[in-house]
């Protein structure tokens, strides 16, 4: 460790033991005073790269961020972690604004978040001159470029603002998406001074990618939700109408769902968004209008009910899952009709824009939906990532079984038909001809005279279109043109027609999910308890639950069972400040849970190594009895064992009786007198048909299950 201070701050304020890929290098450069441009995917942890230096510098760090809702979340998260921060944007009234200005002048903040539009106001620039600014962090810095997808003219004011300061602070720019043009723009337009540039790569290892072609999308959605309905997730649909209908159907079936699209009034949109953010509802059904500015880190799945218009949007939207690093799933429900919807969207929404580019991007995502390659490698190749592994083993194409069916004959029929139609038509007319439809267009064009007319009558038109999409995805044919793209044969198509190449279609056989895929390996019972505590703490503090502790932190608690402050601090995501603020309630609940469920955990092992053996619940129970037995063999009394193990004496007696029942040597006279045994036997006999619980209820409260079990075994009575 070259600079332990960074690590101390990382643990104290954020609760993490180690930096993620790229974070440390960026922090080191910033601390040396070098400007930085960091291109890191969503969820990679860009914020910490400027928050830690902000804590180490003397003055204030100004963070320029384009989204008001994001600012609020970030500032709340910082304040809950014990870091002094504030934001300045149009949501503040004049009193609130004055207060923030006053505090900033008094040096009360380490970070101040501002909307870029502020940089245009003189009063704000005056404020900046009266405080010491150590760093300017530019979030979503691609907004400065007109090449990017979210150009914000106010970003152009950033260099002017920096110039007006008495001394130039270090400038750090961050973004998740930057093509070479955008990257150049960021460096030049923000006037970065010989910056250290770092790209960590686009891969999001914790995301599972899957493409499904369900016959009935809604049924597929229900099937998925049956295992995931308690987790927060987003369902994206392409139109407002489908958002309305999916949401309504889910609500009618009792699911906790809400909706979001641009057609709703502002107040409903923000209410629904808050409900989702605050875990009051689990499922957000939305158009792509939802998501910008949503920093909810524990989204467990993102389902695209329809194929989006390109891979850029898909990766950005799907990337909203699993920001906290826990495993999350990104599912795309594909159907050929999604292509039509997207074509309409391109036609209606791209006045003056480059349609050829948009159609090309549409073709690329159609190919993604139809490829049998590893989906992750497809995406990463698309974004120009180098040295991509061919198989990720974490996408549906890598993990499912793929069944091949030879479709050379069908392919030859289709390719030959395209050729005979003069390579001047798209897939709809081609499918009509192959299917043998009797339309006026076909008659007028004379296609009903072609030898290929009706030679695929046994297939539905949709099925033929699927074949054509597949041949397109595999590169045998290409779609040319914008509005009415036409199918043209490629070189490889001629090889198929000559019979020198065979074509097979791959049908994905979905792997049945194992229970560990669905539930993870954590203790679900405890997780639910901790989640409920988190919700009430969040309610008390009026912040979203993830601001208290992330799901990743709760998961780690369920693995480590921390029962004191020190152990709680070993949990990833629990820093000193939050531990002091919220730790106790969680520790108390965990202690009680551990006791009730007799869970024995070797904490030392957990903190030392990440790959530890997790005992099963059954093994833990055996273990806890053995621990009692060992102390008993060492001569401790029942009271002493109970005190040492922080368990009730009744529990210890129960353990020892279980040991006796298992044939181990225990002198039971002192705590299991003969009269008691006789009483138990009597109770068992009178409750012969009842459950163990009825026997217990018939006896004084202090008689343990262990005692009853022992009496049954010793007296050879039948009782399950
Ligand atoms: P980005 O801005 O790059 O999308 P964030 O800064 O919002 O990502 O971080 C995403 C999540 O990752 C947050 O929940 C954050 O607390 C967590 N995180 C950041 N750095 C680390 C780290 N070193 N170890 C574990 N989790 C981290």
pLDDT in tens, 25-67: 999 999 999 999 999 988 889 999 999 999 999 999 999 998 8
Residue of higher predicted confidence among 573 and 645:
573
Are the CB atoms for 331 and 301 separated by under 8 Å?
Answer: yes
Predicted pLDDT at 607: 34
Q: Are residues 259 and 375 in the same domain?
A: yes
150 in the same domain as 135: yes
Q: What is the CATH number of the domain that holds 121?
A: 3.40.50.300
Listed in order, strand segments (DSSP E) in 276-315 are: 283-286, 301-304
Closest Cα partner for 666 from 680, 650, 674, 655? Answer: 655
CB atoms within 10 A of CB 603: 15
User: Which residue among 43, 81, 291, 556 has the greatest number of ligand 1 atoms within 8 angstroms of its CB, and so is best to mutate?
Assistant: 43
Average pLDDT, the chain: 85
Per-residue CA distances from 58 to 133, 327, 614 (Å): 9, 38, 45
HEC profile of 360-392: HHHHHHHHHHHCCCCHHHHHHHHCCCCCCCCCC
Write the Ramachandran bin of 82: left for phi over 0, alpha for psi from -120 to 50, otherwise beta. left
Burial level of 541, CB count in 10 A (0-12/13-18/19+)? middle
Among the listed residues 230, 292, 238, 220, the one whose alpha carbon sits nearest the alpha carbon of residue 257:
230
Q: Give me the pLDDT at residue 690, please.
A: 60
Expressed in angstroms and rounded, the spacing between residue 42 Cα and the centre of ligand 1 is 9
CA distance 291 to 323: 13
What would you measure as the largest C-alpha separation in the chain, in angstroms?
103
Domain boundary among 592, 614, 636: 614
CATH number at residue 448: 1.10.10.10
Of 502, 490, 489, nearest to 421 by C-alpha is 489
Average pLDDT over residues 276-292: 91
| Ligand 1 atom, smallest distance to 552 CA | 14
Query: Is 519 inside any structural domain?
Result: no
Distance from C-alpha of 256 to C-alpha of 272, rounded to nearest angstrom: 12
**Which residue has the CA at smallest separation from atom 2 of ligand 1?**
46
Same-domain pairing of 653 and 701: yes
Residue having the nearest C-alpha atom to atom 10 of ligand 1: 43
Average pLDDT over residues 541-556: 89
The DSSP secondary-structure symbol of 260 reads E
Q: Are 487 and 479 in contact (CB under 8 A)?
A: yes
Is 322 part of a structural domain of the chain? yes
Whether 622 shows a pLDDT value over 70: the answer reads: no
User: Is 632 in contact with 647 (CB distance < 8 Å)?
Assistant: no
Q: Is the per-residue pLDDT at 388 higher than 60? A: yes
Domain-embedded: residue 392: no
pLDDT greater than 70 at residue 179: yes
pLDDT tens, residue by residue, 99-134: 999 999 999 999 999 999 988 888 888 889 889 999
Task: Answer yes or no: is 651 within a domain.
Answer: yes
pLDDT band at 317 (very low <50, low <70, confident <90, very high): very high
Give the whole-angstrom CA distance, residue 660 versus residue 643.
Answer: 22
Q: Is 433 exposed, middle or buried (0-12, 13-18, 19+ CB in 10 A)?
A: buried
Q: How confident is the model at residue 706 (pLDDT cuts 50, 70, 90)?
A: confident
In terms of domains, do 440 and 314 share one?
no
State which ligand 1 atom lies nearest to the alpha carbon of 14.
16
7: nearest Cα among 657, 516, 535, 16: 16
436 and 573 within one domain:
no
Residue of 7, 8, 47 best suited for mutating to test ligand 1, as the one with most atoms within 8 Å of CB: 47
Same domain, 214 and 300: yes
| pLDDT recorded at residue 378 | 94
Q: Kindly report the length of the chain.
A: 720
CA distance 346 to 313: 14
d(CA 205, CA 326): 10
% of the chain with per-residue pLDDT over 90? 43
Q: How far is the CA of 669 from the centre of ligand 1 (A)?
A: 59
End residue of a domain, out of 168, 199, 230: 199
Query: What are the φ and ψ backbone dihedral angles of 117, each rounded to 5 degrees?
Result: -60, -25
Distance from residue 43's CA to the centre of ligand 1 (Å)? 6
In the prediction, which pLDDT does 352 show?
Answer: 60
Per-residue pLDDT at 603: 47
The encoded tokens of residue 274 equal 């808050």
Instruction: For the chain, count helices (H), then strands (E).
Output: 34, 17
Tell me which residue has its CA closest to atom 21 in ligand 1. Answer: 45
- Say whether both 102 and 225 belong to one domain: no
The listed range with the strongest mean pLDDT (259-268, 292-301, 671-680) is 259-268
Strands (E), 44-160: 60-64, 85-88, 111-114, 133-138
Which residues 6+ apart lie within 8 Å of 61 measured at CB?
50, 51, 53, 54, 110, 111, 112, 133, 134, 135, 136, 137
Q: How far is the CA of 81 from the centre of ligand 1 (A)?
A: 14
Indicate whether 170 and 287 sit together in one domain: no
Measured in whole angstroms, the distance separating CA 68 from the mean position of its chain's CA atoms is 22
Domain count, the chain: 5
Q: Which of 88-102, 426-440, 611-625 shows the lowest mean pLDDT across its residues?
A: 611-625
Nearest CA to ligand 1 atom 13: 324
Angle, CA 686 vertex, CA 684 and CA 689 arms, to 5°: 80
Ligand 1, CB within 6 Å, residue ranges: 16, 18-20, 23, 40, 42-48, 295, 297, 323-325, 550
Host domain of residue 488: 405-505
Q: Which of 559, 589, 614 is the last residue of a domain?
A: 614
Does residue 395 lie within any of the structural domains?
no
Residue found under tokens 């040396």: 32
CATH number, position 579:
1.10.150.80
In a domain, 412, yes or no: yes
* 610 and 633 co-located in one domain: no
Q: Is residue 390 part of a domain?
A: no
**Residue 419's closest CA among 499, 337, 360, 476?**
476
Does residue 532 share a domain with residue 499? Answer: no
Cα end-to-end distance, the chain, whole Å? 58
Residue pointed to by tokens 């995502």: 365
CA distances 189 to 35, 145, 589, Å, are: 14, 8, 53
Tokens, residue 198: 């770092």
What SS3 class is residue 551?
Answer: helix
Is residue 164 included in any domain, yes or no?
Answer: yes
Closest ligand 1 atom, residue 47 Cα: 6
Q: What is the pLDDT of residue 616?
A: 38
CA of 15 to the centre of ligand 1 (A): 11
pLDDT tens sequence across 500-510 = 888 887 665 55
Torsion sign (Cα): 372, 374, 378, 381: negative
556 and 473 within one domain? no
pLDDT at 604: 41
Give the Cα separation of 78 and 242 in Å (integer).
38
pLDDT of 3 > 60? The answer is no
**In this predicted structure, what is the pLDDT of residue 337?**
81
pLDDT, residue 223, reads: 92
CA atoms within 13 A on the CB side of 570: 17
Ligand 1 atom 25, closest CA: 16
Residue 402, pLDDT above cutoff 80: no
- d(CA 419, CA 496) in angstroms, rounded, equals 13
Query: What pLDDT was estimated at residue 678?
Result: 85
The Cα 301–Cα 286 span in angstroms is 14
C-alpha 77: how far from chain center: 18
CATH number at residue 633: 1.10.10
One domain, residues 174 and 233: no
């Amino acid at each position: 460790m070259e600079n332990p201070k960074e690590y101390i701050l990382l643990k104290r304020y954020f609760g993490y033991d180690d930096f993620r890929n790229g974070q440390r290098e960026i922090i080191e450069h910033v601390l040396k005073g070098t400007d930085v441009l960091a291109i890191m995917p969503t969820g990679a942890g860009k914020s910490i790269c400027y928050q830690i230096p902000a804590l180490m510098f003397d003055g204030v760090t100004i963070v320029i961020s384009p989204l008001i809702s994001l600012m609020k979340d970030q500032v709340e998260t910082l304040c809950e972690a014990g870091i002094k921060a504030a934001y300045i944007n149009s949501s503040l009234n004049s009193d609130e604004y004055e207060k923030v200005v006053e505090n900033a002048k008094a040096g009360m903040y380490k970070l101040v978040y501002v909307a870029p539009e502020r940089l245009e106001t003189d009063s704000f620039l005056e404020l900046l001159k009266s405080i010491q600014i150590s760093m300017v962090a530019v979030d979503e810095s691609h907004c400065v470029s007109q090449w990017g997808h979210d150009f914000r003219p106010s970003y152009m004011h950033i260099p002017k603002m920096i110039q007006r300061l008495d001394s130039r602070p270090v400038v750090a720019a961050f973004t998740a998406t930057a093509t070479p043009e955008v990257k150049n723009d960021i460096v030049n337009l923000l006037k970065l001074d010989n910056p250290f540039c770092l790209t960590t790569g686009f891969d999001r290892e914790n995301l599972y990618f899957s493409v499904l072609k369900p016959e009935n999308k809604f049924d597929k959605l229900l099937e998925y939700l049956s295992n995931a309905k308690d987790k927060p997730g987003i369902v994206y649909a392409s139109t407002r109408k489908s958002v309305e209908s999916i949401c309504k159907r889910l609500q009618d079936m009792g699911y906790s769902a809400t909706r979001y699209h641009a057609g709703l009034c502002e107040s409903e949109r923000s209410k629904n968004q808050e409900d989702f953010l605050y875990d009051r509802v689990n499922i957000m059904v939305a158009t792509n209008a939802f998501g910008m500015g949503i920093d909810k880190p524990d989204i467990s799945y993102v389902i695209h009910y329809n194929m989006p218009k390109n891979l850029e949007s898909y990766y950005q939207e799907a990337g909203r899952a699993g920001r906290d690093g826990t495993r999350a799933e990104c599912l795309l429900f594909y159907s050929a009709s999604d292509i039509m919807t997207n074509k309409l969207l391109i036609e209606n929404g791209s006045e003056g824009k480059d349609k050829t580019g948009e159609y090309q991007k549409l073709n690329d995502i159609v190919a993604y939906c139809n490829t049998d390659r590893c989906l992750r490698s497809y995406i990463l190749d698309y974004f120009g990532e180098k040295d991509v592994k061919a198989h990720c083993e974490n996408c549906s194409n890598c993990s499912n079984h793929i069944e091949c069916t030879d479709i050379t004959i069908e392919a030859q029929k289709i390719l030959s038909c395209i050729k005979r139609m003069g390579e001047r038509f798209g897939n709809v007319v081609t499918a009509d001809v192959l299917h043998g439809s009797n339309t006026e267009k076909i008659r007028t064009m004379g296609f009903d005279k072609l030898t290929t007319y009706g030679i695929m009558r046994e297939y539905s038109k949709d099925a033929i279109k699927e074949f054509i999409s597949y041949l397109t995805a595999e590169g045998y044919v290409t779609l040319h043109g914008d509005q009415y793209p036409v199918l043209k044969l490629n070189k490889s198509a001629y090889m198929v027609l000559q019979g020198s190449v065979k074509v097979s279609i791959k049908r994905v056989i979905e792997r049945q999910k194992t229970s560990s895929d669905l539930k993870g390996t954590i203790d679900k019972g405890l997780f639910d308890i901790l989640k409920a505590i988190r919700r009430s703490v969040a309610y008390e503090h009026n912040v979203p639950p993830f601001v208290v502790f992330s799901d990743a932190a709760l998961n780690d608690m369920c693995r480590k069972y921390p029962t004191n402050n020190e152990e709680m601090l070993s949990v990833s995501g629990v820093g000193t400040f939050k531990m002091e603020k919220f730790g106790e309630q969680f520790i108390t609940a965990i202690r009680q849970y551990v006791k009730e469920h007799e869970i024995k955990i070797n904490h030392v092992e957990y903190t030392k190594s990440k790959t530890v053996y997790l005992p099963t619940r059954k093994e833990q129970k055996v273990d806890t009895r053995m621990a009692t037995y060992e102390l008993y063999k060492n001569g401790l009394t029942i009271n002493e064992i109970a005190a040492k193990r922080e368990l009730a004496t009744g529990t210890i007696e129960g353990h020892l009786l279980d040991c006796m029942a298992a044939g181990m040597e225990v002198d039971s006279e002192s705590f299991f007198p003969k009269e008691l045994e006789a009483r138990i036997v009597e109770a068992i006999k009178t409750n012969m048909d009842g459950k163990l619980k009825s026997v217990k209820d018939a006896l004084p409260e202090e008689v343990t299950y262990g005692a009853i079990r022992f009496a049954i075994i010793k007296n050879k009575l039948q009782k399950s």
